[in-house]
Every structure is written in structure tokens, then in C-alpha cells.
Amino acid sequence: NAGVTQTPKFQVLKTGQSMTLQCAQDMNHEYMSWYRQDPGMGLRLIHYSVGAGITDQGEVPNGYNVSRSTTEDFPLRLLSAAPSQTSVYFCASSFLPWGASSYNEQFFGPGTRLTVL
């Protein structure tokens, strides 16, 4: 298993440009999410999805869009990049609790380092 993969690893954008950060997982996880990490801070939740066709906002959703057309992929779109979106972006995935099992350990991708000039 490749686990959670993210592309690209690094990206530099100019203010106003758009781009899509890719995230894929091969563990058949229903739950996927995006976090951002700013210097000296922990991670903050941007958007999440509990399955194909279902997405919702996290703590810091402004300026980002997501969609979930398949179980495996969960891309994050920046429609008009701003310097405040300079950050490291992490994608994560986990199982949803089912029946008697509450197991929902989350696994993170390697991150995308984004700089907006």
C-alpha cells in the first residue's frame, strides 16, 4: 500500500492564481480531510469528507473548495491564491466507525509546501 499520497510536494504561486492540490489513498478509507500547518502551530482542519459526494467545512474553509467524486481521491482547490494561504497542506484519511468498531486512526500524507507570492 502506498498509503496517503499528495502531489505536488512543493508549489510557488502568484497572488490570484488558481491550483489544485491532489490527494489519494489506497486503503479504502471512507473519511478524508485536509489540514494546513502554519509556522509554530499545530494543524487546522480545512475541509473533510465522509464519503464520495459528501463534503463539509472545517475550522478554516475560506478560500478553498473540495469535491469527492471517488473514494480514493480528495483534491483541494485554491480558486484565487492569497499570501495568507502560504502554508504546508496535509491530507489525511481514516475508516469510519462501523458497528461495534470505533477504530478511526487517521493517517497523513507527506504534505505539500505552498508559497504564494
Partner 1 sequence: GIQVEQSPPDLILQEGANSTLRCNFSDSVNNLQWFHQNPWGQLINLFYIPSGTKQNGRLSATTVATERYSLLYISSSQTTDSGVYFCAVELGAGGTSYGKLTFGQGTILTVHP
Report, in Å, the least distance between residue 32 CB and partner 1: 9
Give the type of residue at 25.
Answer: Q
Q: How far apart are CA 103 and CA 116, in angstroms?
A: 37
Instruction: Give the strand pairing for 10-13 and 19-25.
Output: unpaired
Q: Between 3 and 16, whose beta carbon lies closer to partner 1?
A: 3
Q: CB 50 → partner 1: shortest distance, Å?
A: 7
Name the strand (E) or helix (H) holding 93: strand 87-94
Residue placing its CB nearer to partner 1 in the complex, 91 or 116 = 91
* Of 38 and 69, CB closest to partner 1: 38
DSSP per-residue codes, 19-82:
EEEEEEESS--SEEEEEEE-TTS-EEEEEEEEETTEEEE-SS-TTEEE--SSSSB--EEESS--
Cβ nearer to partner 1, comparing 16 with 54: 54
User: Which residues contribute to the site for partner 1 (CB under 8 A)?
Assistant: 31, 33, 35, 40-45, 48, 50, 58-59, 88, 90, 92, 94, 96-97, 102-108, 110-111, 113
- Min dist CB 18 to partner 1, Å, is 24
